Amino acid sequence: MSPESKLIFLTGVGRSGTTLLQSMMHAHPDMCFGTETHFFKKVIIHTQLRGCKIKGLDLLKLIRDNKIQERTALDLSGIRSEEILDLESLRRMFIGILEAACPGSPVIGDKDTEYVRYVPHLKFHFPDAYLIQIVRDPRDVLTSRKKAGWSKNTLTAFHAAEYQFYMERLPDWGKKSFGERYISLRYEDLISDPEQELRKLCDKLGIDFQGSMLHYHEQNADLVAGDEREWKENVFKPVISGNSGKWKDSLSSRELGMVEIGYEDQMQEWGYEVDGNGRLNYLDRLLREAYRFALMRKTQRESI
């Protein structure tokens, strides 16, 4: 990547509005995102946690097994099955994938909700990058996850545990790792006044706001993979300013309790008023905490 380029990683707990924000940024003439590559988490992290080198044959298998080639213009012809690649080689390959999707763009980015788990890893490999996090009311996150194809059959206890675990850690990780290059914003603020929020974001990135960002839905067809369109249909529409608070007509007192109880202080820190009508029995609390413990152990195993 050229010295003038800026690299952006965009993340947030799944169903927090990451695709909407990605689409808005991509509509800026000086910013470019491709479809989610999954290369960092599936290849670079995989290799780093298993010895920091990978055989060409194993790399080719990883790329194909994770369908990375289908999402990118990655040329596999230069990868010899017998060669050994180190992390620096993989890092250059990753940047090459991003640049190939964004030829000539001064600002390039990659969006992945699972970057919430790998903030220290991103800092290790790309210390001068920007990390942008979008935050959404956890109750609306759950409401949305109950409908999305990839998440609707997962237990509420897991959704609540995942949100709480990563949201308790991500802001601290982001601030400690990226300093002023860590930027957070709320989904609710973005949809209620998109121009103001995007102007503030552009200012922090050191670029000029462009009105094209408000017309993102006219030019983002290349950002969403075919298997994701079912639950990302709103990014092909103008901003839905009232797309918040849907949890009030969707969540049961049990689901509300799973999200709110024990997380009241953090919700208020982000400006989300606690409803207080949720109920959480002992077994549900135990299940949620079991998932949180499992996420903690997984994070520890993947730490660098």
User: How many angstroms separate the Cα of 168 from the Cα of each of 98, 117, 236?
Assistant: 30, 12, 31
CA dist., res. 268 & res. 275, Å (int): 11
Whether the CB-CB separation of 191 and 240 falls below 8 Å is answered with yes
Q: Has residue 228 got a pLDDT over 60?
A: no
User: Could you give the number of structural domains in the chain?
Assistant: 1
**293 within a domain of the structure (yes/no):** yes
Burial, 222: exposed, middle or buried (Cβ in 10 Å; 0-12, 13-18, 19+)?
exposed
The pLDDT score that the predictor gives to residue 11 is: 97
**82 within a domain of the structure (yes/no):** no
CA dist., res. 118 & res. 302, Å (int): 9
The pLDDT score that the predictor gives to residue 154 is: 95
pLDDT-based confidence at residue 240 (cuts at 50, 70, 90) = confident
CA dist., res. 250 & res. 301, Å (int): 36
**51 within a domain of the structure (yes/no):** no
β-pairing, 84-86 vs 53-55, is antiparallel
Which residues on adjacent β-strands are paired with residue 287? none
Q: Has residue 90 got a pLDDT over 90?
A: yes
| CATH code at position 109 | 3.40.50.300
**162 within a domain of the structure (yes/no):** yes
Distance of CA 236 to the CA centre of its chain: 19
The pLDDT score that the predictor gives to residue 62 is: 94
- Cα dihedral 162, 303, 168, 145 in deg (nearest 10): -20
Among 114, 162, 171, residue whose Cα is nearest residue 259: 162
pLDDT-based confidence at residue 237 (cuts at 50, 70, 90) = confident
Neighbours of 283 (CB within 10 A): 9
The pLDDT score that the predictor gives to residue 291 is: 98
The pLDDT score that the predictor gives to residue 2 is: 53
**72 within a domain of the structure (yes/no):** no
**92 within a domain of the structure (yes/no):** no
Site of tokens 């993947």: 302
Segment 145-167 shows an average pLDDT of 93
Q: Has residue 115 got a pLDDT over 60?
A: yes
CA dist., res. 251 & res. 143, Å (int): 7
CA dist., res. 182 & res. 190, Å (int): 17
The backbone torsions φ and ψ at residue 132, rounded to the nearest 5 degrees and listed phi first, read -115, 130
Q: Has residue 182 got a pLDDT over 80?
A: yes
Q: Has residue 10 got a pLDDT over 60?
A: yes
Q: Has residue 221 got a pLDDT over 70?
A: no
Q: Has residue 231 got a pLDDT over 90?
A: no
**67 within a domain of the structure (yes/no):** no
CA dist., res. 25 & res. 198, Å (int): 8
The pLDDT score that the predictor gives to residue 113 is: 94
pLDDT tens-digit series, residues 38-77 = 999 999 999 999 999 999 999 999 999 999 988 888 888 8
Whether the CB-CB separation of 223 and 23 falls below 8 Å is answered with yes
Upper half-sphere CA count for residue 211 (Cβ side, 13 Å): 0
Domain that holds residue 276: 6-34+102-301
Distance of CA 259 to the CA centre of its chain: 20
**291 within a domain of the structure (yes/no):** yes
Segment 11-33 shows an average pLDDT of 94
Q: Which of 87-101, 129-143, 233-247, 268-282 has the lowest mean pLDDT?
A: 233-247
Q: Which letter does DSSP use for residue 273 in this model?
A: P
Q: Has residue 3 got a pLDDT over 90?
A: no
Q: Has residue 224 got a pLDDT over 70?
A: no
Q: Has residue 181 got a pLDDT over 60?
A: yes
Instruction: Please tell me the pTM assigned to this model.
Output: 0.92
The chain-wide mean pLDDT, for the chain, equals: 92
**Cα-based angle 19, 143, 228 (whole degrees, multiple of 5):** 35
**Cα-based angle 176, 177, 183 (whole degrees, multiple of 5):** 85
Segment 161-185 shows an average pLDDT of 95
The pLDDT score that the predictor gives to residue 220 is: 59
The pLDDT score that the predictor gives to residue 73 is: 85
